[in-house]
Amino acid sequence: MKEGIHPKLNVINIIMTDNSTFKTRSTKGKDGDTWRLDIDSKSHPAYTGGEQKLMQNDQVDKFSKRFGAFGVGGQKKADEKKSA
């Protein structure tokens, strides 16, 4: 390996949202720095499966309200035509 071309790896402390900690290496910061995470795999909806589904349902409803008049609503529009 060539000398002087690679960034220095520093050992840093990571504090997760549930206050658990671990050490890792990073090219950012200095040795012994502590980083507190605002979002991690224990709190992000993509990993927890909690709010992500609610957000998707809200987005579908919002889309249907905006573009339902163009016949994009699918089954809902077909049902309205049958009852008319």
Encode 29-72 in three state secondary structure. CCCCCEEECCCCCCCCHHHHCCHHHHHHHHHHHHHHHHHHHHCC
Instruction: Give tens-digit pLDDT for 67-83.
Output: 877 775 555 555 555 55
Query: Structure pTM?
Result: 0.49
* Cα 12 → chain centroid: 24
Alpha-carbon gap, residue 82 to 84, rounded angstroms: 6
- Please report, as a single letter, which amino acid is at residue 9: L
Instruction: Give tens-digit pLDDT for 19-62.
Output: 899 999 999 989 999 999 888 877 777 777 765 433 445 667 77
- CA dist 80 → 17, 28, 76 (Å): 48, 59, 6
